[in-house]
Structure 1
Amino acid sequence: MGLTADIRRSLVQGPRQVVREHLARGVNESRALAFLMIGCGLIFVAQWPRLMRTAQAEQDEFSRLVAYALLGWMIIWPLVFYGAAGIVHAVSRLAGGHGTAYGARLALFWSWLATAPLGLLTGLLAGLTGSSALANLAGVVWIGVFVAFWWLAQKEAATMPRTHGL
């Protein structure tokens, strides 16, 4: 299935089946990295309306703000996600999980990508309304759905048998 169809299925039906299908395809680190980078790229773009509003309100340079956001979302946050996946995998193994480090990475990266449309909505609302209650509520919903998806996807990844390394 296509990426957008998988995102829609995750948002409508939950991420477990989609993660199970991706894990069943075997280890493909480039696919997992693509999920992470596309998700971070979408969230980077989602920041533009808010950054434009900030640049206009504070008489700042939009290009400078975008450059900092680019550094954060395309360099720093992917490293944070890799670290978080490693920690969660270690904790999962200590708790009796049977998954792999790759499964933990895929679960996290897919959860991030699958919830990116909610991040786009949050960014749009932040650009249109500033730090309003509506934008904040959208952000809370987005992060809540992300955490729930990650929890469910990690549970799925931890129950998959260790048929491969990494």
Structure 2
Amino acid sequence: MPVVRDIAATYRGPHKVVARLLAMGEREDRAFVILMAACVVTFIGQWPRLAREAHVTGQELNPLLGGTLMAWLFIAPLLAYALAFAIHFVFRALRRKQTPYGSRVALFWAMLAASPLILLHGLVAGFIGEGIQLSIVGLVWLVCFLWFWMSGMLQAGKGI
């Protein structure tokens, strides 16, 4: 199934999409591409906010974009791998059957599936700025991300 359809299907049933991804077999390149796509979309989602910040403060936009690029395309993937590794051990300590690959796919797919809300968050931050609207969109993103992630983690444990 194409990625856009999988993202839409995740909002209807995240465990089904993660089950389908895990049924394709353990391929670390697939997990890495999912993670990098999520990071790229998140980076793009930051552009309106950064443009607003540069305009309001009088800063140059390019250094802000460069720092955000470094953060999202080089540092965030390392942190995501570390988080997936740590959560894998938490689930193992709770006697849940998990594979490290399943933990990574659940986290990385949750990041990618929630990315449309990150784009909306960036638009709200760029065009409206700080306020209740930004907080509401951020809260909706957080709830969806956690729902996708935990559903994916539980599904990853069932496949063993």
Q: Tell me if TM exceeds 0.5.
A: yes
Alignment of 1:6-21 (within 5 A): 6-11=6-11, 13-21=12-20
Count, aligned residues: 160
Where does the alignment leave 5 or more consecutive residues of structure 2 unmatched? none
Q: Tell me the alpha carbon deviations over residues 54-95 of structure 1, each in whole angstroms, 9 at most, x when there is no partner.
A: 000000010000000001111111111101100111111121
Identity of aligned residues (%): 39
Mapped partners of 1:35, 1:79: distance in 2: 14
Aligned to 1:64: 63
Partner of 2:146: 147
Secondary structure of the 1:152 match is helix
Q: For structure 1, which runs of at least 5 residues remain unmatched after alignment?
A: 162-166
Q: Counterpart in 1 of 2:129?
A: 130
Aligned-residue offset at 1:14: 2.3
Mean alpha-carbon deviation: is it higher for 137-146 or for 105-114? 137-146
What amino acid is aligned across from residue 29 of structure 2 in structure 1?
S
Structure 2: distance between partners of 1:72 and 1:61: 18
Q: Helix, strand or coil: the match of 2:59?
A: coil
Q: Segments of 4+ in structure 1 off by > 3 A?
A: none
1:120 aligns with 2:124: no
CA contact (8 A) 1:92 1:158 kept: no
* Matched residue SS, 2:25: coil
Partner of 1:164: none
Quote the residue 1:22 is aligned against.
21
